[in-house]
Structure 1
Amino acid sequence: MVVPPEWWAEEEDDSILVGDLDDVGCIEISTLHKESGDFSAEELLAIAESELSQKVQWKSLTRGDFEGWTASFSEEGAAIREWYLAAGAMLLFVTYSCDLDNRGMDDAAVDEILDTLLLLSSD
């Protein structure tokens, strides 16, 4: 993943945080590796739907080397975008959140960042 100069990134516990220097919003990325087999689109959608308590409309998409599902919603004064993205046995759970007042401000930049996601082989 390529992080633009106007954004920062750091690893924290089991996740990666990426934020813009203006403190508008923050991306959080967590990973899950399946022990056997690959994630299917149906399996990803089932995981995504089971994680949210509210009903949202999931849309399929591709970001970099990963394919999956995304949805946008608001919760407790925050605008939230979520992605469940997989490449083979690797699942990325990605969340971007910001204040409702800033909804949409970083959408294009966040999409550009996620479009640079690459799956590196362990060879």
Structure 2
Amino acid sequence: MRELETDWWFLSLPEDWQVDQDDDSIVITDPDEVGVITLTSLITDGERDIEAGLKDLMASLGVESSQVESTMLGDFDGYYQEFQDGDDWVREWYLGSEHCLLLVSYDCDPDNKMMDRELVDDILDTLSLKA
């Protein structure tokens, strides 16, 4: 495993997964190019109520609180949902910890939605805040 590090958090990735980064997001692709994990960090200026920040984030994305369930990944708490969106199967996490909110999604073909499920969960469970 290798470590992917940003200014605010880090996570562990299998060696054969590819990472690309643009101004807003980090895109991680599995070796077979079947699925893609996208992580978008939203940084707050000061101390903020994480729960309120998560509710605002979900509201801005049109996500109903009745559609999500509570979750915890590594150092982050938040909410999770999965659904079909056109030709894609989507798993989304809305996560927060201290000054960082994260929008995380995993997109793949619906026929492959179970292929990397456990590995994606294992990768995201390594999410840790930088000290």
Q: TM-score, normalised by structure 1?
A: 0.87
Partners of 1:12 and 1:50 lie apart in 2 by 22
Q: Give 1:97's aligned amino acid.
A: D
Partners of 1:56 and 1:74 lie apart in 2 by 17
Partners of 1:81 and 1:110 lie apart in 2 by 10
1:83 equivalent to 2:89? Answer no
1:16 equivalent to 2:30? Answer no
Structure 2 residue aligned with 1:34? 44
Residues matched between the structures, number: 121
**Which portions of structure 1, spanning 4 or more consecutive aligned residues, are displaced by more than 3 angstroms?**
52-56
Q: Give matches, 1:55-70, under 5 Å.
A: 57-70=67-80
Q: TM-score, normalised by structure 2?
A: 0.82
Distance 1:58 1:86, change over 3 A: same
CA deviation profile, 1:24-76 (whole Å, cap 9, x unmatched): 10001111111122343254134224413688620111101111111001111
Q: Tell me the secondary structure at the aligned position of residue 114 of structure 2.
A: coil
Structure 2: where are the runs of 5+ without partners?
1-10
Partners of 2:82 and 2:70 lie apart in 1 by 13
Q: Give 1:102's aligned amino acid.
A: N
Partners of 2:41 and 2:68 lie apart in 1 by 20
Structure 1 residue aligned with 2:125? 115
Partners of 1:21 and 1:33 lie apart in 2 by 30
Give 2:114's match in structure 1, choosing from 104, 107, 112: 104
Partners of 1:29 and 1:21 lie apart in 2 by 18
Partners of 2:96 and 2:114 lie apart in 1 by 24
Structure 1: where are the runs of 5+ without partners?
none
The alignment-based identity, stated in percent, is 36
Structure 2 residue aligned with 1:25? 35
Q: Tell me the secondary structure at the aligned position of residue 2 of structure 1.
A: strand
Alignment RMSD (CA, Å): 1.9
Partners of 1:15 and 1:73 lie apart in 2 by 21
